[in-house]
């Protein structure tokens, strides 16, 4: 099933979150976004040149919308990762699937399939049980930015689906997104400041750029080829992967209610895969 590319993206996004959290000791959130984007734009450009794929596009307006909305979401998300615990930041950002479900109906004009929507809600219930995010008084600004990052991420993902419908390759979509992000954050940093790069910091930056770029490519392919709501449901697995990283790296022991949340996330993803087999023919006729 082509929607399973979202599982690859989810794992890579979780790895990126860990690296960003570690990199916050060396760089600001804007710097992390800049270096992450700079790595991605060069990697995708070299691949486009190697396969002799065209860089020009007639759909530059949608690419701009996708790039700007994605950049705003990324800046907010990276800021949350540097200010809040990893679990809290990811759970706040992962309100985006609910927005995607709404936008896919209002913007993409996809039919409402209530069984799939129920699996999305089931997965979101699992996120709440798993993360149980807390909002301390001194973290309200970062927490609200985390929620807002989910809103703008949903807009970006809908733009990805639109570009896929127009025949744009995932390489081109990721190239323009990283190009726009690199230019905007680069100009911003020219008027602020860059922190010095140590060897340890360089490894974290390279790891962040690599995992983020691979995640973007896998996510873009999933939204190009898969059913929007199915891909959205599978996106919840990022929370599961992040929780496992927390156990392995920081010995974060989860209470029984958190394991119940993980079970609901897995169940939601499994049910979405089963339902997609029945719903894909109807969706493909649109």
* pLDDT tens-place string over residues 137-151: 567 788 788 888 988
Q: Do the Cβ atoms of 126 and 264 come closer than 8 Å? A: yes
Query: 27, exposed or middle or buried, with CB in 10 Å at 0-12, 13-18, 19+?
Result: buried
Those residues whose C-beta lies under 8 Å from the C-beta of residue 160, and which sit 6 or more positions away, are 66, 173, 219, 220, 223, 224
179 pLDDT exceeds 70?
yes
- Residue 97 to residue 236: CA distance in whole angstroms: 8
Section 14-27 average pLDDT: 92
Section 93-114 average pLDDT: 68
User: Based on the structure, what is the number of domains in the chain?
Assistant: 1
Residue of 260, 276, 281 whose CA lies nearest to 131? 260
Residue 281's pLDDT is what? 37
pLDDT: is 228 or 274 the higher one?
A: 228
- Give me the domain span that covers residue 78: 2-284
Residue 283's pLDDT is what? 34
Residue 279's pLDDT is what? 45
Task: Spell out the alpha helix ranges (H) of the chain.
Answer: 5-23, 29-50, 60-83, 86-93, 96-106, 114-131, 140-165, 170-190, 199-225, 228-235, 237-250, 256-284
Half-sphere CA count of 284, side-chain side, radius 13 A: 8
Percent of the chain with pLDDT strictly greater than 90: 31
Say which DSSP state 285 is in.
T
Those residues whose C-beta lies under 8 Å from the C-beta of residue 13, and which sit 6 or more positions away, are 211, 212, 215, 219, 238, 241
89 pLDDT exceeds 90?
no
Inter-axis angle of helices 60-83 and 29-50, nearest 10: 140
* Torsion sign (Cα): 41, 43, 45, 48: negative
Residue 207's pLDDT is what? 93
284 pLDDT exceeds 50?
no
pTM, two decimals, is: 0.79
Query: 277, exposed or middle or buried, with CB in 10 Å at 0-12, 13-18, 19+?
Result: exposed
Residue 280 confidence class, pLDDT cut points 50, 70, 90: very low
- Residue 285 to residue 18: CA distance in whole angstroms: 40
Which of 107-116, 164-173, 194-203 is predicted least confidently?
107-116
Residue of 14, 27, 163, 36 whose CA lies nearest to 94? 14
- Residue 255 to residue 205: CA distance in whole angstroms: 33
Residue 255: Cβ within 10 Å count: 11
Q: What is the mean pLDDT of the chain?
A: 80
Residue 228's pLDDT is what? 65
Those residues whose C-beta lies under 8 Å from the C-beta of residue 130, and which sit 6 or more positions away, are 87, 91, 239, 240, 243, 254, 258, 261, 262, 265
């Amino acid at each position: 099933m082509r929607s399973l590319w979202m599982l690859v993206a989810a794992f890579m996004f979780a790895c990126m979150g860990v690296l960003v959290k570690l990199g916050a000791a060396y760089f600001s959130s804007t710097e992390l976004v800049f270096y992450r984007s700079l790595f991605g734009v060069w990697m995708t450009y070299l691949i486009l040149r190697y396969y002799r794929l065209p860089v020009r596009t007639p759909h530059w307006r949608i690419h701009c919308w996708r790039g700007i909305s994605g950049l705003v979401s990324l800046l907010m998300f990276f800021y949350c990762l540097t200010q809040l615990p990893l679990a809290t930041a990811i759970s706040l950002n992962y309100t985006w699937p609910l927005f995607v479900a709404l936008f896919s109906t209002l913007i993409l004009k996809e039919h409402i399939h209530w069984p799939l929507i129920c699996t999305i809600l089931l997965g979101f219930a699992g996120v709440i049980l798993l993360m149980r995010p807390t909002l301390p008084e001194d973290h309200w600004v970062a927490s609200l930015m985390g929620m807002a990052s989910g809103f703008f991420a949903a807009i970006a993902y809908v733009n990805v689906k639109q570009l896929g419908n127009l025949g744009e390759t995932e390489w081109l979509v990721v190239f323009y997104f990283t190009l726009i992000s690199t230019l905007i954050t680069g100009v911003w940093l020219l008027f602020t400041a860059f922190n010095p790069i140590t060897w340890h910091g360089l490894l974290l930056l390279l790891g962040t750029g690599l995992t983020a770029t691979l995640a973007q490519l896998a996510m873009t392919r999933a939204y190009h080829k898969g059913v929007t709501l199915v891909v959205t449901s599978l996106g919840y697995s990022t929370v599961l992967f992040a929780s496992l990283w927390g156990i392995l790296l920081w010995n974060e022991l989860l209470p029984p209610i958190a394991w119940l949340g993980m079970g609901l996330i897995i169940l939601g993803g499994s049910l979405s895969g089963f339902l997609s087999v029945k719903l894909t023919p109807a969706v493909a006729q649109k």
